[in-house]
Amino acid sequence: MPPSWLQTIAWISLASAFACAAIILLDIFVAKHRQKMGVMEWVWPITALYLGVFGLAFYWLVGRRSTPKYEAAHGPRQFPFWVRVGVSASHCGGGCTLGDVIAETLIYVTGITIFGATIWASFFFDYSFALLLGIAFQFAAVRAMSRLTFRRAVGQAAKADVLSLTAFEVGLFTWMALMFWVFFPDPHLEPNTASYWFLMQVGMTIGYLTSYPMNVVLIHKGIKEAM
């Protein structure tokens, strides 16, 4: 069992994150601050699930101010490049995070292992699900910003997102390796504990940070657009 102090911190962090995500969902769907790009209506609350109050602040200062309702009342805002890159990174992180949560839950429920260890299964399935959902999220963004055919939009989404989500997963997987082999080598933390998901929040935050430079490169090369 994880130490009680870690469990306490974990429950506080998780409860705060879910509250922040709920506030964003209410603001979008009840207060009608609908996003110009539909996929962002899910990216913002997912971002809050790992960034917590920072994700909520990010949404309130950027995402909410980019909505037609807010712009109609206060005028359009032009955000600096570094902020727009941050939104692009959160878009990538949204698909990765959702894929990681689904994969980790599946691995725990089914007991899947690779080479006799769950960590290798986590690396394989987390990346696979992140790739699938990340490209799906990027496809939605590409179709919203252009009139490409379905096939070309899928190709553009894959080209724009594979390196970005790989950079995200590199950060996350490095942290997961530390969790597995250094912090909790025996017994390992399991997904049925709050501590596990709190540390995954930390890992996803690291993943967001490692994906940011890759998003800068992709945008400068014209492979991806700043959001």
pLDDT for position 89 = 94
Q: What is the DSSP letter of 64?
A: G
Which residues make Cβ contacts (< 8 Å) with residue 162, sequence separation at least 6?
Answer: 131, 134, 135
pLDDT bin (cut points 50, 70, 90) of residue 57 is very high
- Break the chain into its structural domains and give their ranges: 4-220
pLDDT at 151: 72
Residue-wise over 90-108: b if at least 16 C-beta within 10 A, else e? bbbbbbbbbbbbbbbeebb
**Residue the block writes with tokens 């692009």:** 88
Q: What is the pTM of this model?
A: 0.93
From CA 20, how far away is CA 167, in angstroms rounded? 26
Confidence (pLDDT) at 225: 78
